[in-house]
Each structure stands twice: as C-alpha cells, then as structure tokens.
Amino acid sequence: MSTTAHPHEEILKQIREEFTEILGQTTQGVYFYLDDPHWTCNERLASMLGFASAAELLKAAGASSLLDVLVAPDSRDEVVSTYMNAAQNKVAASRSITWKTKSGGTLKTNVIFVPISYHGNPLTLHFVTPV
C-alpha cells in the first residue's frame, strides 16, 4: 500500500498556506475546488453550514461529491454549469446557490465563482455570502 499522497493533496496544502489571509480574515465563506474529493474551505463556510470547524465539514464530505453532501438538489445543475464555465472558459460569475446544512436545513447564498491557476493547475475559488 502506497503512503504517497495524491498530488492534489499537496496542491491543497500549498493553497491553504498561500491563501491563509483570505481563508482566515474574510467574513465570507471561501472554498477552493480542484475536483472531488480535492477541495478545501475556511472556518467561516463551515460555521455557515452548521459545522464546528472546516476539518469537521471536510471529514463529513469525505470522498463524496461536494454536490451530493453540501449543495441542495435544486442548485446542483447551476453549480456544475457555472463551475465548468469558470474552469474551462476562465469566466467568473455570481450565482444564487442553496446549500444543505449539517442539521438538515438549507442556507440560501450568493456564490462568486472565480477561475484561478495555481502552479499550472486550474481550479476555482468560491466566495459564499448568505442572503
């Protein structure tokens, strides 16, 4: 059994270090998304969704799809199409997205999808604001 981490794990570690100020100082929820299960978020997003910490939220999501675990069914198509447009066409956008909370409720938000590249790896940065 290999103990070598997936290359995306190293990218996420570097992103968390590089973007410490954004992750820790914004009043918005923030997450960086590479693919499932390779994404990371800040404490604010976790709190907004009812989790005690980002680590708890990430553990709850595990290897499952971010969409399946955290995004309300009626917002999933919007998240996918906006993400794909951002990632493939390098077009930022803002969308209304409903999330599922830990308690089983929902949270309506505005999400800004921002295409970025980190050491040649395309990913998206998302800012989440409750409405």
The CATH number of the domain holding residue 21 is: 3.30.450.20
Write the pLDDT tens digit of every residue in 1-57. Answer: 445 567 889 999 999 999 999 999 999 999 999 988 899 999 999 999 999 999 999
CB atoms within 10 A of CB 2: 5
**Alpha carbons 100 and 73: distance in angstroms, whole number:** 9
* 108 DSSP 8-state letter: E
For residue 33, being part of any structural domain is answered with: yes
For residue 12, being part of any structural domain is answered with: yes
Angle of CA points 54, 55, 57, to nearest 5°: 65
For residue 81, being part of any structural domain is answered with: yes
Q: Please count the structural domains in the chain.
A: 1
What is the extent of the structural domain holding 16?
7-130
For residue 1, being part of any structural domain is answered with: no
Q: How many residues does the chain have?
A: 131
pTM more than 0.75? yes
For residue 53, being part of any structural domain is answered with: yes
More confident call, 95 vs 65: 95
Write the pLDDT tens digit of every residue in 77-128. Answer: 999 999 999 999 999 999 999 999 999 999 999 999 999 999 998 999 999 9
For residue 2, being part of any structural domain is answered with: no
